[in-house]
Structure 1
Amino acid sequence: MSWRVNLFKVLRTKVKEFLRNTSLPGLKYVWDNSLPHWVQFYFGAVFVLSMFVAINQSLNVFNKWQSTPVIMGKSARLERIQNSPFPAITLCNMNKAKYSKVSDIKTGSLDYAMLQRTCYQKIDFTQYQNIKPRSKNDTFANFMVSVSPKCEEMIIWCQFGPTQRPCTDIFREFFVDEGLCCVFNLLHPYYLYKHDASYVRDYTTSKGITEIAVDWNPMTGYPKSLPAAYYPRRSIGVGVSNGLQLVLNGNISDYYCSSTNGQGFKVLLYNSIDQPHMKESGLPSMLGHETNYRIVPRSYSAISSIRSIARSKRQCIFSDEQELLFYRYYTRRNCEAECDALYFHRLCNCIPHHLPLIYRNASVCFVQHFACLARAEAQLVDGDTNACKELCLASCHDVSIFPDQFAIPFSQSGVGLRNKIFQNLSIDYIRENMAVVNFYYDNDFIHGYVRSSYTGPTEYMSLTGGIMSLMFGFSVVFIAELFYHLFLHSIFVYINYWWIRHRNRIQVGQDVQGN
């Protein structure tokens, strides 16, 4: 029992010594016996209350640091549109099949089943589950190519910047979830995909114009050395005359089925390495109208220091952090497309023609898979792929396009139209079949956003240090005092005690030998 009493006395003595000598204001009054008790109690209560508030506020700062480690802010530096490619543009005809190509197809035949799928008709496909392809080239994609409107039929006049170009030089056929469409300024398949992509036709050239495909991504940009003519093409400038101008022909007399309740076209703008989602995100372009799409881009970047923060907390992924199965570059849209491909492959043992062929030996869905695809698509709407897509975080470096769309009807009879291609066409035919679309920037700069750390070590120390100092004068000197009284002083006393005792023993031994 005596050792406990002695320990209590030692601790009491040390606490008194610490409080008498501490640099914290107020504490030295707590154990000053020369003061009245109510004064000691008053300063003690103030110190306890201040400590409670300070610790509570410091924990709030810490929790915010943990819950929001990354903050999005506007970049202090504007970026010129010429530093990035002109957006990739996908154009789809709402007519999914030409009447002249499908009018003779017999009901109940193999081609009839593929036609119903092309036209998004909901029929019972179970009767076709045992049908096999008639030949190697008998695929659903080839059927769609044979019956869908071609790019050269749909896009009849093209001009990019000041130069008029053959439309087949700058557009290529491309499968999306809306069927066979036409795409402009998409990254070359060699740079976009890890292995060969089926049903992708590369650009062609004519009139001695040779454009070389180059690599590009939002994180590293263009290569340092570029050829004279290349794609994806850079932006030229602002205004309609520096954008992409197109004349489209809907040819409504050859309509068989529409992907919507109307006639015309669908348009989607996105960056050059993305997988487009036309069916849900496409914008309409009406026949008999000139539709303008003012391009409003936003660029997103991230400072490299946030790599040390867990992905789940920073909520973005650097493109060199995540390997995809089919795409060379990570983006959220590409990741989500691979999730859909995995989903259909798991349920139906095939991958739809418009989704990435994530496995080289995977089968592309054919007629015998249509019944399964219909069931799988119904479940997909209910969010069956959410678990996979939740892992598809945004890209830390990205470019997003927000088009501002407005349209004006063509002029009435008796008023001439500006484009020469309309000169030999009647105004009735133009209003019923033709459309003009313009894609252009109205601003020479891109608004950029930067992901950075909400608080680093310096900011965190400043915040917590400010709170502690405000509440009770806390400082680094106080930490040194606390460390001294708790450890250094005790160690010094023990060493001094040990040294005196050891010296006394030596002295006693010498005295004994001397006697």
Structure 2
Amino acid sequence: MFRKNSLFKDTNIMSLVKKITRKIFRLVENREKRFLHNTSIEVLKYVITNKSLPLWVKLYFIIISGLVVFVAVNLAVGIYNKWENTPVIIGISSHMTTINSIPFPAITICNMNQAKKSKVEHLVPGSIEYAMLQKTCYRETNYTSFKNLQQKNETFTNFIVNISEKCENLIVSCMFHQQKIPCTDIFREIFVDEGLCCIFNLLHPYYLYKFRSPYVRDYTSLERFSDIAVDWDPMSGYPKRLPSRYYPRPGVGAGSSMGLQIILNGHVDDYYCSSTNGLGFKVLLYNPIDQPRLKESGLPVMLGRQTTFRIIARSFEASPNIRHIQRSKRQCIFSDEQKLLFYRYYTRRNCESECDALFFLRLCDCIPYYLPLVYPNASICDVDRFQCLNNAELEVFDVESSQCKELCLPSCHDLIFYPDSFTTPFSKANFRTRSDYLKNLSSEYIRKNLAVVHFFHTENYFRSNVRSSYTGSTEYMAQTGGLMSLMIGFSVIFIAEIIYVILFILSMIIFIMF
């Protein structure tokens, strides 16, 4: 009797569940029909709900609809790939930049003569000083043959200072912005990869370096500078409040009379060894916060000629909206995104210089004198490390060093100077100049030893290059939405409708199960 009652109850429950299920499915079906009748996609209304159409007509429209959806999705994927692969576009700024709002380029001048003959002709082969001279003159030498390399009276940097031409003898006449200026007031001595050179308009070491370097790289004769040092970088520019005389000095106007004119004396009779196969000088124009590398980028200035460098300024800016894009895709780095070990400001050349310094420090446990001291306690490579330096210079482009430099992307905000140079020989008859230095010199001496160089801007204004987002999220939605709407009448409302139907069906299923 109990079993019959239980079976009867089970049968009633099953029939009740079936009735509820049928009602739910009818309700869902009615909702689906209403949805299909009122949906924003016309194809669903026309093909599915219209029962009077023949089967082949429905199949035709289903196939066409499938092809249209396929094309629309492919086009939308293409837009997405373009958005991902080309996130940044470089355009031209809408406003002009004046040259007096940016610094005049930093200029480094190096004598191709690496040593004065009068200072080194007495050195004895086999001595420590002679070993230093071979390294200074880029001569291939087996330094293991030198004895007592550890016993030395002076460092390699002091040796270079003693045998090199001083800036006050190298640059003998200066005019800047039509004013005669003592060259020692605007040029400083600095160590670069071509030895001891003269530099103009570089940022002061206090703003450029994170800690003080004990060598000439941080300049000499600071007490002779009357101009006040101020901070500057391509991203922030000059401070709002500026003194009457300051440096880095800005440009004033276009034309040779508004630039820098200098006279260089090569002292040919005192030549001993040259960094190249000729006489003269090397010149480099660059950003005032950059690390100069004359060996790869220096431009020649020949003796007995007047050389003119017409400066073309180009600056790069970046919109803040590209910060969220990965560095590898936008291919630039904001100066406040990456901190360097020695330099306060990030630039690509500063970053690469630190990579080289770390490379030599790893291989030789020292850093060459012309590279940044990435650690305060790091030592400068001296004569006892010359053999290691020579071997390391052959491996400077190894995998590890290259991987480090690959991470040194260009700065998002940058200032670059492109020099357009041309040269003409001095007149054989009469050589005229406004410098008093030449009054007592013969024409033969002038043509043999001197060089006149002009640096000036060609235009008062220029336009910056601006990095900005090529396609933002708004543009991407507008383009893909336009495609989907054009092809299948798709809209955001339809997405809401689909979500509503799915949630409704799920709620009905949950109700049946529980």
TM-score normalized with structure 1 length:
0.90
Aligned equivalent of 2:361: 345
Question: How far is 1:203 from its partner?
Answer: 4.9
Task: Determine helix, strand or coil for the equivalent of 1:296.
Answer: strand
Letter matched to residue 310 of structure 1? Q
Q: 1:419 aligns with which of 428, 434, 451?
A: 434
Question: How far is 1:417 from its partner?
Answer: 1.9
Question: How far is 1:491 from its partner?
Answer: 6.9
Letter matched to residue 415 of structure 2? V
Task: Determine helix, strand or coil for the equivalent of 1:45.
Answer: helix
Aligned equivalent of 1:104: 122
CA RMSD of aligned residues (A): 2.4
Q: 2:71 aligns with which of 18, 30, 53?
A: 53
Aligned equivalent of 2:276: 260
| Partner Cα separation in structure 1 for residue 147 and residue 379 of structure 2 | 15
| Partner Cα separation in structure 2 for residue 202 and residue 225 of structure 1 | 27
Aligned equivalent of 2:448: 432
| Partner Cα separation in structure 2 for residue 202 and residue 9 of structure 1 | 94
| Partner Cα separation in structure 2 for residue 362 and residue 284 of structure 1 | 34
Q: 2:46 aligns with which of 29, 33, 48?
A: 29
Pick closer, same or farther for the CA change 1:360–1:130 going to 2, 3 Å: farther
Pick closer, same or farther for the CA change 1:132–1:12 going to 2, 3 Å: farther
Pick closer, same or farther for the CA change 1:464–1:285 going to 2, 3 Å: same
Aligned equivalent of 2:5: none
Q: 2:410 aligns with which of 383, 394, 415?
A: 394
Aligned equivalent of 2:102: 84
Aligned equivalent of 2:338: 322
| Partner Cα separation in structure 1 for residue 31 and residue 356 of structure 2 | 68
Alpha-carbon contact 2:317-2:413 (below 8 Å) kept: yes
Task: Determine helix, strand or coil for the equivalent of 2:358.
Answer: helix
Aligned equivalent of 1:282: 298
* 2:500 equivalent to 1:484: yes
Pick closer, same or farther for the CA change 1:12–1:253 going to 2, 3 Å: farther
Alpha-carbon contact 1:29-1:39 (below 8 Å) kept: no
| Partner Cα separation in structure 1 for residue 239 and residue 458 of structure 2 | 27
| Partner Cα separation in structure 2 for residue 159 and residue 383 of structure 1 | 47
| Partner Cα separation in structure 1 for residue 395 and residue 507 of structure 2 | 74
Alpha-carbon contact 1:302-1:452 (below 8 Å) kept: yes
Show the 5 A alignment for 1:199-348.
199=216, 200-204=218-222, 210-348=226-364
Letter matched to residue 278 of structure 1? L
| Partner Cα separation in structure 2 for residue 289 and residue 256 of structure 1 | 22
| Partner Cα separation in structure 1 for residue 221 and residue 123 of structure 2 | 32
Question: How far is 1:118 from its partner?
Answer: 0.5
Question: How far is 1:109 from its partner?
Answer: 0.8
Alpha-carbon contact 1:129-1:369 (below 8 Å) kept: no
Pick closer, same or farther for the CA change 1:474–1:169 going to 2, 3 Å: same
Q: Which moved more, 1:463-472 or 1:109-118?
A: 463-472
Show the 5 A alignment for 1:67-146.
67-128=85-146, 131-135=149-153, 138-146=154-162
Letter matched to residue 62 of structure 1? Y
Question: How far is 1:336 from its partner?
Answer: 0.6
Aligned equivalent of 1:176: 192
Letter matched to residue 81 of structure 1? I
| Partner Cα separation in structure 2 for residue 264 and residue 47 of structure 1 | 76
| Partner Cα separation in structure 2 for residue 175 and residue 472 of structure 1 | 69
Alpha-carbon contact 2:484-2:490 (below 8 Å) kept: yes
Alpha-carbon contact 2:128-2:152 (below 8 Å) kept: no
| Partner Cα separation in structure 1 for residue 281 and residue 26 of structure 2 | 90
| Partner Cα separation in structure 2 for residue 354 and residue 88 of structure 1 | 17
Question: How far is 1:435 from its partner?
Answer: 0.5
Letter matched to residue 368 of structure 2? P
Alpha-carbon contact 2:348-2:410 (below 8 Å) kept: yes
Alpha-carbon contact 2:89-2:470 (below 8 Å) kept: yes
- Deviation per residue, 1:240-293 (Å, 9 max, x gap): 111010000111111111111111100000111100111000000111111111
Pick closer, same or farther for the CA change 1:494–1:250 going to 2, 3 Å: same
Alpha-carbon contact 2:126-2:146 (below 8 Å) kept: no
Task: Determine helix, strand or coil for the equivalent of 1:462.
Answer: helix
Alpha-carbon contact 2:209-2:344 (below 8 Å) kept: yes
Aligned equivalent of 1:41: 59
Question: How far is 1:107 from its partner?
Answer: 0.8
- Deviation per residue, 1:119-168 (Å, 9 max, x gap): 11111122348512534xx1111100110111111100001112111101
| Partner Cα separation in structure 1 for residue 35 and residue 204 of structure 2 | 73
- Deviation per residue, 1:31-87 (Å, 9 max, x gap): 222111221111111111111111111111112212222221111111111111111
Q: Which moved more, 1:152-161 or 1:424-433?
A: 424-433
Q: Which moved more, 1:374-383 or 1:165-174?
A: 374-383
Aligned equivalent of 1:472: 488
Pick closer, same or farther for the CA change 1:12–1:108 going to 2, 3 Å: farther
Task: Determine helix, strand or coil for the equivalent of 1:395.
Answer: coil
Structure 2 gap ranges (5+): 1-16
TM-score normalized with structure 2 length:
0.90
Q: Which moved more, 1:55-64 or 1:162-171?
A: 55-64
Q: 1:365 aligns with which of 345, 368, 381?
A: 381
Q: Which moved more, 1:263-272 or 1:30-39?
A: 30-39
- Deviation per residue, 1:66-116 (Å, 9 max, x gap): 222222111111111111111100000000001111111111110111001
Letter matched to residue 272 of structure 1? P
Question: How far is 1:484 from its partner?
Answer: 2.7
Identity %: 55
Question: How far is 1:25 from its partner?
Answer: 2.6
Pick closer, same or farther for the CA change 1:457–1:129 going to 2, 3 Å: farther
Letter matched to residue 423 of structure 1? K
Alpha-carbon contact 1:332-1:392 (below 8 Å) kept: yes
Pick closer, same or farther for the CA change 1:59–1:129 going to 2, 3 Å: farther
